[in-house]
Amino acid sequence: MRNLLIINWRFGVEETTELLKQRFDKLFFTGSPHAGKIVYKAAAEHLTPVTLELGGKSPVIVTVSSDLKLAARLIVWGKFLNARQTCLAPDYVYVEESVEEKFLAEIKDQLTSNAYTYDAESYTRIINAKHFDRLEELIDKEKLFFGGKSDRSRLYMEPTIMRNSTWEDKVMEEEIFGSILPIMTYRKFDQVIEEIKAREKPLSAYLFTTKKDEEQRFLHAVSFGGGCINDSIMHFTNPNLPFGGVGNSGIGNYHGQYGLEAFLHKKSILKKATWGEPNLKYPPYTKSKKRWIKRIM
């Protein structure tokens, strides 16, 4: 790809907007679906191909058959890695109603580790004050199960768990991209599958189960960019797996060989000898020629 533009809005909105007016052979953008639509619209002016790695509300399903302690450990790690400021982190959890209390206890046990406290060097701060304030507005104090403390002067936001969340809550309107984890419950597995399918297609999705039928139902019924069974985020680390979204969460993919192909155009070339040109392909197309052409084709 001779003329490539890789975009991230943090470089400056005005500068990026001006760049998008120029002609490129390829546009690669990572960011929100809203900004992705702006990039896509600009690319259409020159019919420029794009790779859009966006995001969305990546769901987690925790079933009654799962190892709840392991599930809690992996979800907490994946969710609060970089204070959830990663595009493929778990955004919310659906847990089977009968094991909700046990699951929440395991989550709390994981979060009481020193790794998530105010002074922990390994726990990331929120990127800036603007996003810190946005996250503060998403916390419903009446639904707090754990956390909720914050310090704006240090951009620290404690890992925060909200239970009894619903799709009507403000925190469920768009991707959170911060240290808040809403928990919802379900009774029937097919119910939660339909709930997820009714929303925009996420960049990632995660299922914790030991049942093959639930695994297959999840994989075949739900459309998402990529994900894990009994893990979180780790599919991103495998260079042999393509990474990218689908629908509202992105266009195209990359990583490893897929990354090379994302930035290349495969040019088709046929080279032939200058002798032996068949008369069969030239008019007039007699009945005899047509018979031979049909046999060949």
pLDDT digits (tens, 9 = 90+) for 23-77: 999 999 998 898 899 999 999 999 999 999 998 999 999 999 999 999 999 999 9
> In sequence order, what are the residues at sequence separation of 6 or more whose Cβ sits closer than 8 angstroms to the Cβ of residue 183?
92, 93, 95, 100, 104, 145, 161, 162, 163, 164, 165
Strands 144-146 and 160-162: antiparallel
Q: Pick from 60, 41, 53, 43: which is nearest to 8 by CA? A: 53
Whether 9 shows a pLDDT value over 60: the answer reads no
Q: What single DSSP character describes residue 50?
A: E
Q: Mean pLDDT score of the chain, rounded to an integer? A: 92
Candidates 15, 18, 53, 137; catalytic one: 53
> In sequence order, what are the residues at sequence separation of 6 or more whose Cβ sits closer than 8 angstroms to the Cβ of residue 262?
28, 51, 252, 253, 254
Residue 296: pLDDT band (50, 70, 90) is: confident
**Predicted pLDDT of residue 129:** 96
Whole-angstrom Cα distance, residue 138 to residue 165? 12
Decide if 228 contacts 81 (C-beta within 8 A): no
- Other beta carbons within 10 angstroms of residue 140's beta carbon come to 16
> In sequence order, what are the residues at sequence separation of 6 or more whose Cβ sits closer than 8 angstroms to the Cβ of residue 154?
125
Candidates 14, 45, 87, 195; catalytic one: 87
Is residue 45 part of the annotated active site? The answer reads no
**Predicted pLDDT of residue 2:** 64
The structure tokens listed for 151 are: 């310090």
> In sequence order, what are the residues at sequence separation of 6 or more whose Cβ sits closer than 8 angstroms to the Cβ of residue 72?
103, 106, 107, 109, 110
Q: Which of 112-121, 203-212, 265-274 has the lowest mean pLDDT?
A: 112-121
Decide if 186 contacts 97 (C-beta within 8 A): yes
Is residue 87 part of the annotated active site? The answer reads yes
Whether 132 shows a pLDDT value over 90: the answer reads yes
